[in-house]
Amino acid sequence: MTAPSAPPAPPAPDAPTDPAPKGGHYQGSEPPLLSVKDLKTHFPVRSGLLQRVTGWVRAVDGVSFDLGKGETLGLVGESGCGKTTVGRTLLKLIPATGGTVTFEGRDVMKAQGAEMKALRRDMQIIFQDPAGSLNPRMRIASIVGEPLIVHGLVTDRRKLRKQVEELLVRCGMPAAAADRYPHEFSGGQRQRIGIARALALEPKFIVCDEPTSALDVSIQAQIINLLTDLQEEFGLSYLFISHDMAVIQHVCKRIAVMYKGKIVETGSRDDILKNPQHKYTQSLLSAVPEPDPRRVKERVIFEGGAM
């Protein structure tokens, strides 16, 4: 039996036909902190006895954007459109198929070894599921302190303990939480712990992967306010991923709308909310609940097709 041949490369994708509205691109006076160009993440579909590649899932299919220092860019779209895959590919948690990611002039996709370890100090992530992202067998002190140990930033146990407690308190948790386990806390408290862990290395950029979607509405507001305060205090840059337009419009000054692996529209918050150009964006906005029962909002139905 002959060995199976190497899988073919995925075909080149078609570019979206809808141009981004004016004012949607990064317009800062300084070079962008993060620059993403034509990012692609394709997953092979295998079938048959030999598990040959018979197709490709284009989870991310030519995404480009820039992010400035201290800026929050909202990446919004329905579940399954590729938002989370974008965030994880930026951090090399998922291998990219193509494209470039540049952070402060450093090529993230080509970084290896010590260079990649240094980049991880500056680029962190807050996961969607606060319960699933915390090791249930580790105490909170170990969870929050682990990045400091791995990167060799703290070697003294007393200093480590003090720094962990300071991080917890800054994120709205009592210092005594360090001795407890994740299952002893509520969802909102666990998310605060996850934020404290992401802050431990003093990063410059954080991917916020739907950090409020698993929380009650009242707790969502608390977490959003915490992230806003931390951004002002530490000058953080956020890629804020969400399917909730109400959350996005509250947090982000610039919004990118994603559909089927592509960004179909980018603009300032006012441009996107008041004058959306793409019908998919119009459909997302029409689905936001109207708090005034006397007002009837007309739903815009987007059935897919050509972009």
- Residue 61's contacts (CB-CB under 8 Å, 6 or more residues apart) are 13, 40, 42, 82, 260, 261, 262
- Give the integer Cα–Cα distance in Å for 171 and 134: 16
Quick one: average pLDDT of 245-271?
Answer: 92
pLDDT at 20: 40
pLDDT category of residue 218 using cuts at 50, 70 and 90: confident
Determine the straight-line distance between the first and last CA of the chain, rounded to whole angstroms.
45
pTM: 0.85
Using CA atoms, how far residue 217 sits from 72, 188, 204, 287, in Å, is 21, 11, 28, 17
Query: What's the whole-number mean pLDDT along residues 219-231?
Result: 94
State yes or no: pLDDT of 244 exceeds 90.
Answer: no
Contact of 75 with 247, CB cutoff 8 Å: no
pLDDT at 15: 40
Say which residue, 127 or 21, is predicted with more confidence.
127
More confident call, 19 vs 127: 127
Q: Which tokens hold the place of 117?
A: 């370890």
Alpha-carbon Rg for the chain in angstroms: 21
Q: Is pLDDT above 70 for 193?
A: yes
Q: Which of 57-61, 150-154, 233-237, 284-288 has the least mean pLDDT?
A: 284-288
Which of residues 224 and 289 earns the better pLDDT score?
224
- Contact assessment for residue 302 and residue 262, using Cβ atoms and an 8 Å cutoff: no
Q: Average the pLDDT over 59-87 and give the result.
A: 94
- 55-59, 128-132, 155-159, 208-212: segment of lowest average pLDDT: 128-132
Stated length of the chain: 307
HEC profile for 47-64? ECCCCEEEEEEEEEEEEE
CA dihedral 77, 80, 81, 82 (to 10 degrees): 110
Cα 224 to chain centroid distance, Å, stands at: 14
The pLDDT assigned to 284 comes to 84
Is pLDDT above 90 for 82? Answer: yes
Looking at residue 3, its pLDDT comes to: 44
Question: pLDDT: is 28 or 179 the higher one?
Answer: 179
Q: What is the pLDDT, as a whole number, of residue 19?
A: 41
Helix (H) or strand (E) holding 66: strand 52-67
Instruction: Please state, in angstroms and rounded to a whole number, the distance separating the CA atoms of residues 127 and 214.
Output: 10
Percent over 70 (pLDDT), the chain? 86
Instruction: Match 């992530």 to its residue by tokens.
Output: 125
**In the prediction, which pLDDT does 23 show?**
44
